[in-house]
Chain A
Amino acid sequence: KAGVTQTPRYLIKTRGQQVTLSCSPISGHRSVSWYQQTPGQGLQFLFEYFSETQRNKGNFPGRFSGRQFSNSRSEMNVSTLELGDSALYLCASSTGQETQYFGPGTRLLVL
């Protein structure tokens, strides 16, 4: 089976812009979770989607949003980018049960 894929792998944006990241889960997985990884805060949960519905949300501002499509692919959007949004954004897929499998991440740099 192919693993979790994320596009793009690298992005450079400027403050105030918005960005959309994409994630394709493992075939058959209906749950997609998003995490932000920074050197200072580590891995922090953003939100989780299952069958196109957001089931859980972490403690992030409303500038961070997401959605899931009927084929389980998911997108994450960050509006009005701030310097502190520079991070590795990781997508993880699962069947909705215990284990989560991560993609390679999208590295976002905000200038």
Chain B
Amino acid sequence: QKEVEQDPGPLSVPEGAIVSLNCTYSNSAFQYFMWYRQYSRKGPELLMYTYSSGNKEDGRFTAQVDKSSKYISLFIRDSQPSDSATYLCAMKEGSARQLTFGSGTQLTVLP
């Protein structure tokens, strides 16, 4: 079983919809949680970064971390066609240097 599980999709939604992306993990030592967006043929772009449990909002994006359930989410409000990409969750232990990634969810927002 992988340390980080992420539904690969693909997920297709109409423009303006609220998108929910999720990851579960098994390593209780993970303390830092990130969401990256990766467009085709590009490197991952950091979207959101949170430490421990709680919510963080940045514009149309909200990241939630529930450490008790080992579950993290990314919500995208008022989704746009430009949000069409692969979304990767990543996490790391407090003192670790390496990130452990989910497999990515492919999202398409239809105009």
A residues at B contact (CB < 8 Å):
4, 6, 31, 33, 35, 42-45, 48, 50, 55-56, 58, 90, 92, 98-105, 107
- Are the C-beta atoms of A102 and B49 separated by less than 8 Å? no
- Are the C-beta atoms of B103 and A90 separated by less than 8 Å? no
The A interface is mostly helix, strand or loop, or mixed, namely strand
Q: A98-B32, A99-B49 given as contacts; is B88 within 8 A of A43 (CB)? A: yes
- Number of inter-chain CB pairs below 8 Å: 52
Size band of the B side of the interface? 20 to 34
> Which one, B17-25, B39-47, B61-69, B74-82, is touching chain A?
B39-47
- Are the C-beta atoms of A102 and B101 separated by less than 8 Å? no
- What are 16 pairs between A and B in contact, CB < 8 Å? A4-B43, A6-B43, A33-B97, A33-B98, A35-B99, A42-B103, A43-B88, A55-B97, A56-B98, A90-B43, A92-B99, A98-B32, A98-B92, A99-B34, A99-B46, A103-B43
In the bound complex, CA of A4 to CA of B96 (Å): 21
